Chain A
């Protein structure tokens, strides 16, 4: 019964979304207030209905109702409760339901908190948002209905893929989706602005917090996914340039560009049509990402069983959404008035440089991701484009970006003196050079790129701190005054410094993880010792243990550093009872400077085990850096001007956006 209510609510939500996409649009065109006013209540109703649908599906999972096909295929009565719940979005149909739920949530937030938006812009934005809803709800109703019943109902379900039974992956999809879908708001705003033909500072001030919020979620989602792959898949890597990873990374790159160009629109009233274009491209890439993940057109280590018919449907949606918005852009963008002037060497110029590099990088990633498809279509050759391609194209584009990132924030708006800015960064340059030389000395005989990467990271971190120090007057005014100035600094400025510093930490992490890891694969018998870097791993044998829905062999490694015991690592080889699937659980010791990573392989039948041991310097910095970047974004989101808004067109940010700790 409850399942049928959920099914009905989903169909009703589709009807509401159709109304929401048509009436406010007509109302705005004819300046009819009553029709425009339809937008907000329908947005709220859509959220309510989809919440009911989502709760109904969750209920089916929690109560293990195996008469629902989706539950029978993806859940099992033995599963721990948390994975019964996360199972709701651990499959195609459920994850699409989550997708539209988040879409409706964002729409409802705009409806609820956008009381001060001009009615025309608001109703058009909500109408565009509803059009996206219509597309995806149709997709669900027609091709991927999570509420389909199964007759006769099986006694027990098939169980969720054990690899997905992990706290990291319980959280990863909702967060990533909040990021993907969050960019729908900037897309809807951009399309609405194109229809209105008006983009100004108030518009940018409206869009920026949404873009920032989506960016926060996307950053956190990507980092979480990478972390999950790192500790769960047991292969020791953290990024594979896999199509599905690229699918989330491309919107991140262009979304980052969007965040920065929106600043220029807001402060200087320039780069307007470019910003609109970025908003369109960011969400288009999110849609392409959904298509790539859901259609199975590309071979991917993430490829779950997929269905090509769905791919065709999503492809159709993609063509309409991307083609339509780009056509609208081509038609309307030339009518946007150009704003403030600036010289090539200026803050604006720096941000343009950042934008060009980020979008070019996104384009190379897109090309590398789709190239196998093109080649197969034209030549019939099957190829794969892997990490070497991406490393060879992406990294050379990021190096100038990081160099420029150190300088950009010191340039004033309109026109700047590059030599002067560089002079102010002397200390950062010297420090980076020194650290690079020390790194080169310490890692003598290994690749020279290590020194380069660490040097870049230090350059970026030091120049971010120098810029902050200069702003608050370190060394020029008394300490008390420095504190006062620091407190008075806009949160956005703090956010920028923190986020840039986070990137510096991540760059160092990437360098260490990519270049200096030491791996050792061998057969070990109980009592055997292996040295990895300066750490001694002693294998104390393996024992059999029993988990809630699996049995496992657990290896015991005592790890010593110069005779001192650091930890005991206990990697597992699990066998899940329902599916019979095996998984490898790596054991990891994380410290501030390095990770030690142990994987237990198969027994060789003669008392020995295959073991794989890693020393991974600076790997924790990858995720520390991501967390710092997210914190920077959060700080920036609490900026007063985003809460108060422009005097003419007021703005409020959703309650979720306000830092609760304040």
Chain B
């Protein structure tokens, strides 16, 4: 509105403004890219099936996710019931798991489970977290695949696969 005396034409100023915006935008994207790359390096968690653990000789202390079925008859309580020990299997191989705390509601023998944690020197998977699923008929894709890989996948797990 106010016609202040500026040496530049509106078109030039517009270009300049656009340049500023683009430069700030690029700086931010660069920052974000740097953040993302460092974060991805440190913070992604790999998924390994019990067979992978056997095959890849994963070092103890390395943080990862593991999943499969809770082996029938394997759930044992320790320390007065505060610690739960169980075995997770992809029907090919099995891994002992130990978890301290309250298990999710849908945790039970024969059901799929995903645990996050690391192996201790005795090759027991110490879970920091055991993930809950909302639906008892639901099979996490990782587990389904782990079962398929070990050749033990039965297609009768879901109710009818429709819902």
Chain A residues proximal to chain B, CB less than 8 Å: 73-74, 91-92, 161, 163-164, 233-235, 296, 299, 301-305, 307, 338, 341-344, 349, 352-353, 356-357, 360-361, 363-364, 367-368, 371, 381-386, 388-389, 392-393, 396-397, 521-523, 579, 581-584, 599, 601-606, 608, 610, 612
Contacts and interface: CB of A to CB of B under 8 A. Distances in A.
A361 B145 CA distance: 32
Nearest to B10: A341
A118 B138 CA distance: 50
B161 interface: yes
Contacts of B17: 341-344
Given A299-B142, A303-B135, A304-B135, A584 B102 contact: yes
Given A303-B138, A305-B159, A393-B39, 7 more contacts: A344-B20, A353-B24, A386-B43, A392-B38, A392-B39, A397-B32, A521-B82
B59 interface: no
B161 A364 contact: no
Given A303-B134, A389-B43, A604 B77 contact: yes
9 contacts: A235-B132, A360-B31, A360-B32, A371-B44, A383-B47, A385-B40, A386-B43, A523-B80, A612-B102
B135 A604 contact: no
Contacts of B137: 305
Given A301-B131, A301-B134, A604 B39 contact: no
Determine which residue in A393, A397, A612 has the highest number of CB atoms from chain B within 10 A of its CB, and name it: A393
B141 to A, nearest CB: 6
Contact of A389 (B39, B47, B82): B39
Interface in B1-28: 10, 13-14, 17, 20-21, 24-25, 28
Query: Closest 4 interchain pairs by CB?
Result: A604-B81, A382-B47, A392-B39, A388-B43
A642 B104 CA distance: 49
A352 B18 CA distance: 11
B163 A299 contact: no
Contact of B81 (A344, A606, A612): A606
Contacts of B46: 381-383
A356 B28 contact: yes
Nearest to A392: B39
B132 A233 contact: yes
B47 A364 contact: no
B122 interface: no
Contacts of A584: 102, 105
A608 B80 contact: yes
A582 B137 CA distance: 14
Interface string B131-149: 1111111101110010000
A383 B45 contact: yes
B100 interface: yes
Contacts of B136: 579, 581
A353 B65 CA distance: 38
Interface in B22-71: 24-25, 28-29, 31-32, 35-36, 38-40, 42-48, 65
A433 to B, nearest CB: 25
A610 B25 contact: no
A599 B105 CA distance: 12
Interface residues of B, number: 56
B132 A385 contact: no
B47 to A, nearest CB: 4
A393 B33 CA distance: 9
Contacts of A353: 24
A301 B132 contact: yes
Given A299-B140, A304-B135, A604 B102 contact: no
A267 to B, nearest CB: 13
A549 to B, nearest CB: 16
Contact of B163 (A92, A388, A605): A92
Contacts of B79: 523
A310 to B, nearest CB: 10
A397 B35 contact: yes
Contacts of B104: 235
A523 B81 contact: yes
A189 B42 CA distance: 42
Contacts of A233: 132
Nearest to A352: B21
B102 A610 contact: yes
B92 interface: no
B160 to A, nearest CB: 9
B158 interface: yes
B44 A304 contact: no
A161 B101 CA distance: 24
A388 B81 contact: no
A304 B138 contact: yes
B14 to A, nearest CB: 6
Contacts of B141: 296, 299
Interface string B101-138: 11111100000001010000000000000011111111
B101 A612 contact: yes
Contacts of A296: 141
Contacts of A608: 80-81
Contacts of B14: 338, 341
B154 interface: no
